[in-house]
Structure 1
Amino acid sequence: MSDVTAPRPRLVTRPLVLVCLANFCALTSFYLLLTVVPMYAAAAGGGVGAGMTTGALMLTTVVAELCTPWLVSRYGYRRVLVAGMVTLGAPALLLLGSSGMATILAVCLVRGFGFAIAMVAGGALAASLLPAERRGEGLGVLGLVSGIPAVIALPAGVWLAGNHGYPPVFVAGALAGVTAAVLLLGVPDPRQEAGEPAGRSLGVLAGLRTPALVRPSVMFFATATATGVVVTFLPLAVADASGDLATLGLLVHSVAVTLARWWAGRHGDRHGAAGLLVPGVLATAAGMLLLVMVDSPYAMLAGTALGGAGFGAAANASLALMYDRVAPSGYGAVAAIWNVAYDTGLGVGGAGFGVLAARSGYPAGFALTGVLVLAVLVPARSGAGLPRGGGKAAPPA
């Protein structure tokens, strides 16, 4: 008689731990500077200049994300990731010697390329190390680990800059990126171990022609746009209040994102991820509408908490749903498409809101952002390709 109680496959392995630690360091480098660089640039270019830094960062990030699956297929995970981590961290040191907008934007453009590699190649590598039977649980844990840098580094960067100046933030961001590169030197390349020939991978363009992948990513994009607005402009919107209030708001947002990603991973593994997408969009929009009352500390904190929870749930649910719809050979394309949605949303939110707020003020800008987030539910309701009842969709042919 066969054993029907076979043990579950092991979730945590040494390579996965090293990838998680490297991801932690990369995101620490990213979040330390995400809000601080717009603050640094505000003196040179005002609110529009602050938005341009986030837009420049995400511009090269999106372009590089489309190329990263090809780079991995050509050179392998390890070499591409090590180069990407160094590119993410080291350019921050150039900000120590210049506060000109040209230098700031150039650094953002270069760091965007490294960030794209870190997220796309790192995400695909982590997914390939997870057993299929525990993928939902594993993504939940990875989301929790990935969210910790946002909880710590995002508000810490603002606090450090306000109390000790910008140089310590730039140095810390550079060291975090280089540390990630060192950690990845000890990770074996699964493509080489499997004997997969160079140049073979599912293309991003093919993934972009697959509605089952595009539709969840579009809904996630809407929540990422709102997050780009919050992390870029919340410190400026509450500038007349205590600086600690902006730090607290970013901390609340980051904690909400992290906890929601972890909870969504566990819930989606048991009940399906698709049912969490629409609630995530609704919560994100509601959070932005609460920020219309940004002058009220209670409304601001409630808005950042609700918006962060919606973004975190949509992030985990969309990624899990997209991985479920492809074979392992498509993980790189999924990671690229999902990260394009993420980073395009952050860039559009940062750059677009800067222009809007300069004309209409922050409350009106927050209100319009909330309405635009809700607009993504119109195509979703008319047939977003999501399975009813939260079930998993079959992989596309």
Structure 2
Amino acid sequence: MGRLVQVLKTAAIAGTAAAIGGAAFYSTLDVQRRFELASATGPLVRLLDPETSHRVGILAARMGLFPKETRPDPPALRVNLWGRSFPNPIGLAAGFDKDAEAIEPLLNLGFGFVEVGSITPRPQPGNPKPRVFRISELKATVNRYGFNSEGADAAAERLERFWRRVAADPTRKKGLLAINLGKNKETEDAGDDYAVGVLKLSRYADFVVVNVSSPNTPGLRALQGRKQLQSLLTFVRDARDGLEWGPGGPPPLLVKIAPDLTESDKADIAAVVAATGVDGVVISNTTIARPESISKYPASREAGGLSGPPLLEPTTAVLADMYRLTRGAVPLVGCGGVASGEDAYRKIRAGASLVELYTAMAYEGPVIVPRIKQELAACLERDGFASVEDAVGADHPNIPRPGKKKGAGKR
């Protein structure tokens, strides 16, 4: 309670200062300073519990308190994938904007894409609170949200409003929009729930992600078994293809997998992806493993999925395995532990065409978005790659890479 009072008092002081002359002062700052100022409030917000901090972040975005990126991205960061052009490969992972409340402000931060969700067909509260725990020393988090969602209908209303604004002014959409679909906890036939998500939401998406990998919904990860996954993805793909689409066709369909997989699990998933014609794989969700490096922290004993820097090594290893198993034929999205441009570059060299982050922004604030892009561009230049596409899969010299220009880049 004492911390909350302190935060409220500080917020009141800040609000008064803004009313007196803060807006005028803010208008004098360059773009980078605006990002730094927005991120400087992070330690104050983190005086609150993690879930309240999360809600404060969403509200700040909705209220227009996030900075807007107006500087162009380096040309080397542009990625062409699925017939779509990404201004850069850095995306915001699902889990931050669960209900599509702040799409435009988040895209305005300079992300190449934003993934909203997971969105379930019907509203559900998720797991009991508390359900999010910080390991601040490692800038890591454990969560067991459990797909808390306002449901597909509420999300569809917000998505409809967003696209109406874009139709009126196309410049309002700075990047691409992905929609992550989940299932309701009590649903027995998962295919039905994912099909409902496709029917209600896919028309709003630049691409759709089927989440079968959250550790916080009972039985969900069992859907990654070969037979179950092939049946599910075939059913969802057919539901998508059964809708009417314009000349651009349906949105690409991706599946998001867990990092906690055996070698046979990974081989099965690669086989299913090839058999079903899925357009891509997101690698990966949070982990139920507890590395030795976090064992001394109380939050490590909480049930749920671990995210943040401890996830970088294991998820990048799974990413590399999936690139090898699919022979580079299926676009991969690298997610897990990304906190710098060097981290993103490692994912790209391991086989990722796109890279997502979330926990790092919760700790570092919006300033991480321009920083990570600048660092990634420097990594590409350092190693002689003309573009992100040239660097994808560079750590796999025995796998042909169509985007790789002859003689470009270092091994």
Q: TM-score, normalised to structure 2's length? A: 0.27
Q: Which structure is higher in helix share?
A: 1
Greater length-normalized contact order (CA 8 Å, ≥ 6 residues apart):
1
Q: Which structure is higher in strand share?
A: 2
Q: TM-score, normalised to structure 1's length? A: 0.28
